[in-house]
Amino acid sequence: MKISYNFKKSKTVRFLTWLFIDGEKDLFKDSKLIGLLSRFNNGKLSMACIGLALACLWYESLFTRLGVSWVEGFNLGAIFLLLALLFCDKQRLRSTRATIYLLLFVLSVIISGLLAAINGLETGMILTGIMLLSQFVLAFIVASTYKSKLVFINVILLLSVPLLLVGVFQGFWGDPTSKLWVSGVETLIDARAFGFFGSPNVMGSLIMITSIMALFAFLDKKKWYYLVFEILALIVIVLTFSRSAWLGLVVGVIIALLIKNWRMVLLAPLGLLALLIPSIRQRLFVSFSQEYLVDAALDGRTWAFNNAIEIFKTSPILGTGPGSYGGQTAIYYNSPIYLRSMQSGYVALPYTDNQWLQVLAQIGVVGFICVGGFFVSHFVNNLKQYKKSGSYLSLGIMAAVIAVIVNEIFSNIWEFGAISVLSGAYLGLGNNYEV
């Protein structure tokens, strides 16, 4: 008992508490700036705007096919997100550790961008990179002001129903999948569901989050329609054949359920039933085949991981600049940062396929620490609040934190507003600590 008491009073514990545990004092409360901005408060309008932002981001290509071509040019998703921020209830903003880490991250992104501009990088690329990284932060802050978690979850699930229906059609009756989406040895996969996106991995990451929403909403409220949605979401996430989404979902849900009751580990073997499906078994086991590992080392993920580390070494503190490496923005602007790669500009895989490495390369150690601090503090403080309330909705948000962390190891999810806004908003619901 004495050792335990001394440990709790140690400088190490006090330092970790200061780093990650929220205190009673709130820097935003009663501030003049918050009071000034509160003139525009309208929570329902804010929620409607963020719903419209997601609708634009998810269905942009559908609108284009229907002849509404101006949607793409105006970037309505970002515009509606800014309107959601304008109308959110600023009086409900809280200076939690998670919020502070995100604000520090945005500051580091801006400083990194300024340094990159001074060094001659394209201004348009830097501004686009800042916008992409900031979308997650904006969505998190906006959603943290919403009083009802469940109402917002219902809005998101309703919006995603058309995506699920399209995903089922594509998976079972769609055209043969692109050879870029499967390796040569994956002979059992005829089609991968991709929704209205250019990649089934984007679709998988999105459904990973909505399925967590539906599962824990069902456990909390026991309503049949959440269960129906969950079953449909699980079918679609399987049809995306996105291993990173599968892994994120499984790890996140298992850890959350173990927090609820460690005895639930006894249910873990049920997950092995998925291996009875030949295409799933092949998709998983091919990752360990000699052919796949060799390809990954020559021009795949392993090569990209190593290349990102080499880029990071050239600008370790504040990185090469937002948008400058490892994603669509860098490719579009033909970023000169690729010339710093392992083979003098030759890039086998232009994506980092790892959000953590992309942040490390673009924003450096400073940005990486801020992002890591955000996830740790958000999880720890939600765990603390869950122990007080026992709410399944809070548990679901912790599951999403873990799922996003795992998924980011294999995907650049902040490169796509469709995922970054959704994940930022869902995690933001856990920032107000209300059931």
pLDDT reported for residue 6: 60
pLDDT reported for residue 231: 95
- Of 411, 407, 308, residue with least CA distance to 361: 308
Asked whether residue 180 carries a pLDDT value surpassing 50, the answer given is yes
Highest mean pLDDT among 30-34, 186-190, 323-327, 344-348: 323-327
Measure the CA–CA gap between 130 and 319, rounded to whole angstroms: 13
Which DSSP category does 176 fall into? P
Measure the CA–CA gap between 163 and 7, rounded to whole angstroms: 51
Note the pLDDT tens digit of each residue in 229-274. 999 999 999 999 999 999 999 999 999 989 988 877 777 777 777 7
pLDDT reported for residue 64: 66
Structure tokens at 335: 């970023």
Measure the CA–CA gap between 143 and 43, rounded to whole angstroms: 10
- Report the length, in residues, of the chain: 435
Structure tokens at 256: 């959350």
Asked whether residue 276 carries a pLDDT value surpassing 50, the answer given is yes
**DSSP codes, 148-175:** -HHHHHHHHHHHHHHHHHHHHHHHHHSP
Residue 1 — pLDDT band, cuts 50, 70, 90? very low
SS3 at position 343:
strand
Q: Which residues contact 408 (CB under 8 A, 6 or more apart)?
A: 354, 355, 356
SS3 at position 348:
coil
pLDDT reported for residue 68: 56
Q: 402, 240 in Cβ contact below 8 A?
A: no
Residue 5 — pLDDT band, cuts 50, 70, 90? low
Cα Rg of the chain (Å, integer): 22
Residue 32 — pLDDT band, cuts 50, 70, 90? low
Residue 15 — pLDDT band, cuts 50, 70, 90? confident
pLDDT reported for residue 433: 66
Q: Provide the H-helix boundaries in 300-416.
A: 301-314, 328-332, 355-389, 392-407
Q: 136, 367 in Cβ contact below 8 A?
A: no
Which position has the token pair 């600008």? Answer: 315
Q: Which residues contact 314 (CB under 8 A, 6 or more apart)?
A: 320, 340
pLDDT reported for residue 177: 74
Q: 101, 81 in Cβ contact below 8 A?
A: no
The gap from C-alpha 74 to its chain's centroid, in whole angstroms, comes to: 24
Mean pLDDT of 214-228: 94
SS3 at position 346:
strand
Q: 82, 135 in Cβ contact below 8 A?
A: no
pLDDT reported for residue 17: 82
Which secondary structure element, helix H or strand E, spans residue 435, and what is its range? none
Measure the CA–CA gap between 235 and 164, rounded to whole angstroms: 9
When the pLDDT of each residue in the chain is averaged and rounded to a whole number, the result is 86
The type of residue at 293 is L
pLDDT reported for residue 30: 66
Note the pLDDT tens digit of each residue in 55-91. 999 988 776 666 555 445 457 888 999 999 999 888 8
Measure the CA–CA gap between 132 and 143, rounded to whole angstroms: 18
pLDDT reported for residue 269: 75
pLDDT reported for residue 264: 74
Task: Compare 218 and 69 and report the one with higher pLDDT.
Answer: 218
Percent of the chain with pLDDT over 90: 52
Structure tokens at 148: 């009802």
pLDDT reported for residue 148: 87
Asked whether residue 160 carries a pLDDT value surpassing 60, the answer given is yes
Q: Which residues contact 195 (CB under 8 A, 6 or more apart)?
A: 58, 163, 166, 167, 170, 202, 203, 206
pLDDT reported for residue 343: 66
Measure the CA–CA gap between 152 and 351, rounded to whole angstroms: 33
Q: 90, 146 in Cβ contact below 8 A?
A: no
Residue 368 — pLDDT band, cuts 50, 70, 90? very high
Q: Of 136-140, 179-183, 405-409, give the lowest mean pLDDT range.
A: 179-183
Mean pLDDT of 130-135: 92
Query: Of all residues in the chain, what percent are helix, strand and coil, respectively (each to 5)?
Result: 75, 0, 25
Backbone angles phi, psi at 343, to 5 degrees: -120, 45
Q: Provide the H-helix boundaries in 241-354.
A: 243-260, 278-285, 290-299, 301-314, 328-332
Asked whether residue 397 carries a pLDDT value surpassing 70, the answer given is yes
Structure tokens at 220: 């909390």
Note the pLDDT tens digit of each residue in 324-344. 998 889 998 989 998 887 766
Mean pLDDT of 213-240: 95
Distances (CA, A) of 379 to 153, 382, 402: 19, 5, 8
Highest mean pLDDT among 14-23, 187-196, 220-229: 220-229
Asked whether residue 27 carries a pLDDT value surpassing 90, the answer given is no
Measure the CA–CA gap between 93 and 41, rounded to whole angstroms: 12
Dihedral sign of CA atoms 127, 129, 132, 133 in order? negative
pLDDT reported for residue 4: 61
